[in-house]
Amino acid sequence: MTTYTTMDNDRWDTISYKAYGHCQGMAALMAANEDVFAEYNQPAILPGGVLVSIPDLPDIQLTTLPPWKVAQ
């Protein structure tokens, strides 16, 4: 697990994109940072200087196909 220090106006999706290269890590970020999420969930725009834990994600297959078109 690594950490990231937010910049003004960071959001969970932008942090996920910076950390993982995609936005599918948002839920893992929020779960790993429950205290930060609770404090800054409305609006979900974070101020600068907040230390956020970046958990390791399992490998995921990214696709733009709808679920019913993805080969099983």
pLDDT digits 0-9 by tens, 15-30:
999 999 988 899 999 9
- Closest residue by Cα to residue 41 from 54, 53, 26: 26
Would you call 68 exposed, middle or buried from its count of C-beta atoms within 10 A (0-12, 13-18, 19+)?
A: exposed
Whether residue 36 contacts residue 50, with contact meaning beta carbons closer than 8 Å, is answered with yes
What's residue 59's pLDDT?
74
- pLDDT surpassing 70 at residue 62: no
Average of pLDDT values for 1-16? Answer: 95
Alpha-carbon span 35 to 1, nearest angstrom: 17
Percent of the chain with pLDDT strictly greater than 70: 85
> Where along the chain do its domains lie?
2-69
What are the Cα distances from residue 8, in Å, to 20, 35, 50, 52, 57? Answer: 20, 18, 9, 13, 25
